[in-house]
Structure 1
Amino acid sequence: MAGGAVLAMSGALAVAAQAAEATQTPAGILSDGTPVTAVTLKAGNGVSATILSFGATLEKFMAPDRDGKLADITLGYDNLSGYEAHPNYWGATIGRYANRIAGGRFTLDDKTYQLPKNDRENSLHGGGQGFDVRNWKVESIKSGPVAQAVFSLESADGDAGYPGAVNARVTYSLDENGSLRIAFDATTSEPTIINMTNHAIFNMAGEGAPQGAMENVLTVPASHYTPVNEALIPTGELRGVERTAFDFRKGKSLNQGLRDGTDQQIVYGRGIDHNFALDKGVTKEPELAARLEDPASGRVLEVLTTEPGLQVYSGNFLDGTFVGKHGHLYRMGDGIALEPQKFPDSPNQSSFVSARVDPGKPYRHVMIYRVSVDR
């Protein structure tokens, strides 16, 4: 009996040790006096994710290398004031519409809507008034085999020019193995467009690594991408990646082709800032969209999604203007964003998967950041 009790207790302790934990702490106060909360989800293997209520932002993502050494693999700021004073989408929840909308304009049911322009003549990531600069409500947190934090936001009819009153929710879930699942859900009071994603910028060598992120090896299972015009708006074409800098099907380091001035697409983007049409298309459950690995440390990130597209942004506009974590000046190539989503400018391009959302037909996008170690 005693031996059985000891065995049962040790088994219970092992389960408890593997369980993922969720904790909540104050993160500071915005300039208007609004308090911001930080929620940390921590797995038994040391992987942890810290999310700020401001922007429902993935502020920190810690992952071990092959020797067990932890490093933050996302770019960002050391404190809340940086995120408020210099919003750069780093780690933020993007909405209502991720990526670019040409002219900041779209038509729905014969009515045209004008959005704020914050990217030359286009609207980008909500036009500078998006979900990334709102303080979300922390609905709930819980520990267990899966640690979870739920954030919610109400966006009024006409908010930033978009129709419909939208109730949005983002659920971050971290399991015992260190897979971070992000579920985006939204309902609307009238027809609108919604396209939500996370805008973390990664370096698997660790944030601020002196060599930058361009030695990271990227794999994207996409045979086609959407070429853009000089304003970075898709032309509507699906172009094959074969024999171009955009062919990541077999995996290659990011620095291959990024300075190829003979490719007009690279010139337009100052590197890669393009949407890849994933071979899998829209799926019911998240499937692989990208794999990013640092050969030196062994850290691996897999990005899975239910959406049809992946925006790959190679940090082309990082110019050392802002001081990031640990006093680092982020420069071109110091990180890469892998943003699952609908295709850019979908509301104006009928051949792309529609971003329309109607009352009674909720929006949902599920993505996963799965970290591991290649030994």
Structure 2
Amino acid sequence: MPKPHPKEFRDDVVAVARRGDAPVAQVAKDFGISESCLRNWLHAADVDAGARPGVTVGEAAELKQLRRRNRLLEQENEILRRAAAYLAQGSPPKMMFPLVLELAADRVPVAVTCRVLGFSKQAFFKWRAAPVSQRDWDDAHLTNAAIDAHRDDPEFGYRLIADEVRDAGLPASDRRIWRLCSQQGLWSVFAKKRGLNRKSGPPVHDDLIQRVFTAPDVDKVWLTDITEHWTGEGKLYLCAIKDVCSNRIVGYSISDRMKSSLAVAALRMAIQRREPAGTIVHSDRGSQFRSRKFVHTLRVNGLRGSMGRVGACGDNAAMESFFALLQKNVLNRRRWATRDELRLAIVTWIERTYHRRRRQDALGGLTPIEYEAILKSQVAQAA
């Protein structure tokens, strides 16, 4: 079964087809998809826009959410019923964790049970891994009470949180509450900011490529970076991921804000398209590539991060050369009135011109698509 195309890619192709510069068949060919697939996307877009009858994507998502909510309510009712029976025993248990195990065996998620019964998942899993002391158990209750107090009043420091905890019937000293608040990072929103004027820490990843912008095969080394350009509506940001071997842009994302989600979206598009394993993803030390979400996405997909030095453009020169080419052929060609106008121009140039028409000397006079097709045929013949 072929892999589904990313939503951002589908929306861009539909927008290009609706613009009417070329027939649907030609647009489909330019973007490397079948004509029937593009017509299905256009039909779905018309349904979402209300131009045709049918179930929209939003309605389908809402129905799915309602079913999920109904299933969750059934689980919560079952948890409360079982908890009432559990507590009605002659000798009430000191802990409810055994009930969590019983419900988990009946396919009730642990997270739901812990939330309904009013304690943290962390406390449950720690108990399951090893017996806990009474002090640890008391600390867990105090921590939950402190979190609740801080959630209700974020301006509270540890002393006021300690007062709230004691008012709730949980005796504890100020020092003990301070220790628990420190472990959980529960600080007053008016507290002095920590970490200001400190030197930047070490990079998240080592430099694994050392300016060697070559690879023996596709999906061995990827480069990524972010560029920006002004429009009449403000800036537009592009995060692109380039395969070193074929020079193909394997993933990209475009947005009006330069957040970590921009880099994560481009990486997810590349992963969805290529399904890599052990690929090196090299970037600069921008905050988007140092973010927890980006590093987590690398780790869970088996990718290896790599970073150049601070202020050393040459450490990512091959990616900078692509952005220079984009600047020359698209961004600087004229003034762009709207972000959507520039967005469509960028994706059209990448998919139609750069991938399928622009021949590169480094690839032996081939386009990136042609070069990858030859590599695949050689691998198939060798097998």
| Greater share of residues in strand | 1
TM-score by length of 2: 0.19
| Greater share of residues in helix | 2
TM-score by length of 1: 0.20
Structure scoring higher RCO (CA < 8 A, sep ≥ 6) equals 1
